Structure 1
């Protein structure tokens, strides 16, 4: 049976499934190294904050009213798909998405669904466009299609 060479082992920087929060740093480092930064730091920070909030709202149902264009049915009661107790974002990056006025927030996350199944290394992307409101530039999340 062939064995892995030291170089192939070194190339696999992702933490194994089930590593828990201890593996999140490796996931973040791998994600950032795989997709070099291409946005100003202030834009990246704004996008990461919004992207993480959107993911949390989407997965847990909490905070959907903040984004009525993304979650138009958020006025009623929403049964969360994932538990807030066992939900965490393992890694996140924000990058341009084809033009200076478009961006994507790429998130890797873990959570326990309503059936009690925990899964890590889940992937979600949120797309944004740069808009100008009242003279201020902001990033607006796009509804999923």
Structure 2
């Protein structure tokens, strides 16, 4: 792993991120962007200025001092909404459209799956499911789901 990165990050008077790099210049309106938000959420993060120019590339959040890491994680959490499904409680029908009752890392919810094509494989054991409103739900690891959830999901794969 690379050495700790040297920069300062703080919130300005408007609550936006401000970046001070090695060149001694402050940049306002800084936005963190993940290169691989699903496969490697803590690796490959770019801090972009308000014009979309990269200020610094972060190989791993472990390279970032704790205070700056906390600000980056807060900003990412505020911008990204990707509930992670931990359990599938029920499915209204094995034909689509169907209503799914699920448990996520953000609580229990339901959504409508319009078609099997809205379930996409990501890697070996991850799935991305888009509901009828375009909200994406993630299943990080199929093998980590309980037997009942896997059985319901298998009907759609």
Q: Whose helix fraction is larger, Structure 1's or Structure 2's?
A: 1
Task: Find the structure with the greater CA-based Rg.
Answer: 2
Name which structure has the greater RCO, CA cutoff 8 Å, separation 6+: 1
